[in-house]
Chains A and B, each alone.
Chain A
Amino acid sequence: MKEFRDPHPDLPAPSTSVGLLGWLRGNLFSSVGNSLLTIFACYIIYLLIVPAFDWALLNADWVGETRNDCTSGGACWVFVGARFDQFMYGFYPESEYWRINLAFGLLAVLLILLNIKQIPKKGWLGAGTLVLYPIVAFYLFSGGVLGLDVVETSKWGGLSLTLVLSGVGIVASLPIGIMLALGRRSEMPIVRAVCVVFIEFWRGVPLITVLFMSSVMLPLFLPEGTTFDKLLRAMIGIVLFESAYMAEVVRGGLAAIPKGQFEAAKALGLKYWQSMSLIILPQALKLVIPGIVNTFIALFKDTTLVLIIGLFDLLTTVEAGFKDSNWLGYALEGYAFAALVYWVFCFSMSRYSQRLERKLQTGHAR
């Protein structure tokens, strides 16, 4: 009998079935119909991408001072460059820009510190950031202490206003939303009724209406001569509006927690607030991170609506820029820039939420 002691070594797979070629064959050219579709799709992409690329990068003008420097026929980024300070700071006095830079720089440093694993006692750092930072930032922005000049809120604008509005909205709407969600599931009829009415009222009204009411109608009801900062009113409107949405997202998470978790917490002798904050909410919030971040992103973009009550957020500032007679005709560049800025912020939030979800994964399945 013949023995096969030394089998022939395996031949490598044919180059047409592995690597890039194999992948292309398997996924894009597996049949005549698919091949035609692939070629057609590539053609469409070519038609769209090449002119956009030419316009935005190859044929664009990057340096200069005025519109006369834009000669090549592509995008005129000179416009964005010339107006950049205004897009970032609105009408904030130029000599005081450092205060805004300092405020956001401080926030960036704190956020980075909070995300470094090795730092001990992060709970205190986090609490400090939540409680003290807003106070510091408020005085940096508005001044009036330690020899800082007062800057009226009507001068705030641009990206910094957008960030202030959405930052306050995000930080305030989550806890209020959690309270409303717990209230809506409460066994106390009055608490439940109040929360249901609040949530349904604010969810049922468009944000534009809320902002209009806060700026136009509210002063009519207040006693003559009461001044109530317009920015503050817009902020309150946004916070109340978004917290109603947040409440429903959180309620979805609460509903997904099995009854056994509540019972085990009770059986161990934990009180209502203890079992909520230690057992139920950590699990429920983790479940609805995608929904929460979705609401945050929507909130971030909804802040553009403050333009209707005359606040100059990023988008409004950009629009004001290209309506200036010196720069007429550069709307596309302006919108493209604004879109890019919004996208960068929203995409970062989205990525951060995905990281958070992975980090908090503890093998939930039972």
Chain B
Amino acid sequence: MTAIEKAGAGMGISEEVMIEIKNMHKWYGEFHVLKNINLTIYKGERIVVCGPSGSGKSTMIRCINRLEEHQRGHIIVDGTELTDDLKHIDQIRREVGMVFQHFNLFPHLTVLENCCLALIWVRKMPRKEAEAISMGFLEKVKIPEQAKKYPGQLSGGQQQRVAIARSLCMNPNIMLFDEPTSALDPEMIKEVLDTMIELAESGMTMICVTHEMGFAKTVANRVIFMDGGEIIEENDPESFFENPQHDRTKLFLSQIM
């Protein structure tokens, strides 16, 4: 069995709710970006969010760790509601890891320092211990030998794997991926996807905005299609790709497949 096939095999999803989004709205000035989003995500789910550009999919997942503020409705992450309360925001950010399209590694720090930073300053861990944990995750993403280099010296795929390791160091319960492979050259996409597949196998709750439909088919247990700031359709991958219900979904799939 290849890694991809293994990942597809049924993985435990518990009854425990990790993220609950209820009647959530967001505006950029006059522009209504997110309209009445309702979504419940259980522990261990691998969710792929897709849709045309400008459909609000990135904005939605960025609301989950408050990189964007929502104006109406509720977002509850692992029992904590996101409000203006800074304590809640800090608590949620500590539990939610995020991987960005453009990696956003800190270019003035080495790979190892990138990984250690939050452990030392947010988790208040001694440097030695933080370095040991970081090296562990760098080994998991298969680049321990790059630990002393600066991000600018690595390829795009390697940088993105470092970014994943950096998030994992904080031992998050939830991982958000915001188009993690969109800025990569084609030959580097696979190494990043393989890392994500391994992560999915470990039971991590993942929400992934991506255009990689192969990944969606094999790893996701649920696919969400967004357009115009709304969730148009959500279904298990097989039904979603074989039997889309909405015209907009059909149009989108016909364009990208």
Interface residues of A (CB under 8 A from B): 258, 260-261, 263-271, 274, 278-279, 282-283, 286, 360, 362-366
B108-A362 in contact (CB<8A)? yes
Shortest Cβ gap from A362 to chain B (Å): 4
Q: A268-B117, A270-B122 are in contact. Are A261 and B104 (CB under 8 A)?
A: yes
Chain B residue nearest to A283 in the complex (CB): B108
A366-B152 in contact (CB<8A)? yes
Is the C-beta of B3 less than 8 angstroms from some C-beta in chain A?
Answer: no
Is the C-beta of B241 less than 8 angstroms from some C-beta in chain A?
Answer: no
Name which of A260, A269, A279, A365 has the most chain B CB atoms within 10 A of its CB: A269
A220 to B212, CA, bound (A): 74
A263-B170 in contact (CB<8A)? no
Is the C-beta of B153 less than 8 angstroms from some C-beta in chain A?
Answer: yes
A80 to B162, CA, bound (A): 62
Contacts of B167 in A (CB 8 A): 267-268
Segment at the interface with A among B11-19, B90-98, B193-201, B213-221: B90-98
A263-B107 in contact (CB<8A)? no
Interface residue range, chain B: 20 to 34
Interface flags, B138-169, vs A, CB<8A=1, else 0: 00000000000011110000000001001100
A267-B97 in contact (CB<8A)? yes
Is the C-beta of B100 less than 8 angstroms from some C-beta in chain A?
Answer: yes
B122-A268 in contact (CB<8A)? yes
B107-A283 in contact (CB<8A)? yes
Q: A274-B121, A363-B152, A363-B153 are in contact. Are A263 and B93 (CB under 8 A)?
A: no
Sample of 19 more A-B contacts, CB < 8 Å, known A264-B106, A268-B93, A360-B108: A258-B104, A260-B102, A260-B104, A263-B98, A263-B104, A264-B105, A265-B106, A266-B67, A268-B118, A269-B93, A269-B118, A269-B122, A269-B170, A270-B118, A278-B117, A279-B106, A279-B117, A282-B108, A366-B103
Is the C-beta of B181 less than 8 angstroms from some C-beta in chain A?
Answer: no
Name which of A264, A282, A360 has the most chain B CB atoms within 10 A of its CB: A264
A286 to B118, CA, bound (A): 22
Contacts of B90 in A (CB 8 A): 269, 271
Chain A residue nearest to B166 in the complex (CB): A268
The contact of A261 among B65, B97, B106, B163, by CB within 8 Å, is B106
A365 to B108, CA, bound (A): 11
Q: A263-B67, A266-B67, A267-B65 are in contact. Are A364 and B107 (CB under 8 A)?
A: yes
A261 to B66, CA, bound (A): 15
The contact of A260 among B65, B100, B118, B151, by CB within 8 Å, is B100
Contacts of B97 in A (CB 8 A): 267
Closest 5 CB pairs of A and B: A363-B152, A264-B104, A260-B104, A268-B118, A267-B98
Contacts of B66 in A (CB 8 A): 266
A263 to B59, CA, bound (A): 13
- 20 A-B contact pairs sorted by A residue (CB < 8 Å): A258-B104, A261-B106, A263-B98, A264-B100, A265-B106, A266-B65, A267-B67, A267-B93, A268-B117, A269-B93, A269-B122, A270-B118, A271-B90, A274-B121, A278-B121, A279-B117, A283-B107, A286-B108, A363-B107, A365-B152
A362 to B111, CA, bound (A): 12
A360 to B108, CA, bound (A): 8
Interface flags, B114-141, vs A, CB<8A=1, else 0: 0001100110000000000000000000
Contacts of A279 in B (CB 8 A): 106, 117
Contacts of B152 in A (CB 8 A): 362-366
A269-B67 in contact (CB<8A)? no
Contacts of A360 in B (CB 8 A): 108
Q: A264-B100, A363-B152 are in contact. Are A270 and B121 (CB under 8 A)?
A: yes
Chain B residue nearest to A260 in the complex (CB): B104
A366-B93 in contact (CB<8A)? no
Interface flags, B63-101, vs A, CB<8A=1, else 0: 001110000000000000000000000100110111010
Contacts of B107 in A (CB 8 A): 283, 362-364, 366
Shortest Cβ gap from A45 to chain B (Å): 44
Name which of B66, B104, B151 has the most chain A CB atoms within 10 A of its CB: B104
Shortest Cβ gap from A214 to chain B (Å): 39
Contacts of A365 in B (CB 8 A): 152
A364 to B105, CA, bound (A): 11
Q: A260-B100, A363-B152 are in contact. Are A266 and B106 (CB under 8 A)?
A: no
Contacts of B163 in A (CB 8 A): 264
Contacts of B103 in A (CB 8 A): 366
Chain A residue nearest to B118 in the complex (CB): A268
A269-B94 in contact (CB<8A)? yes
A268-B100 in contact (CB<8A)? no
Contacts of B122 in A (CB 8 A): 268-270, 274
A278 to B118, CA, bound (A): 10
A265 to B122, CA, bound (A): 11
Chain B residue nearest to A279 in the complex (CB): B106
Shortest Cβ gap from A297 to chain B (Å): 25
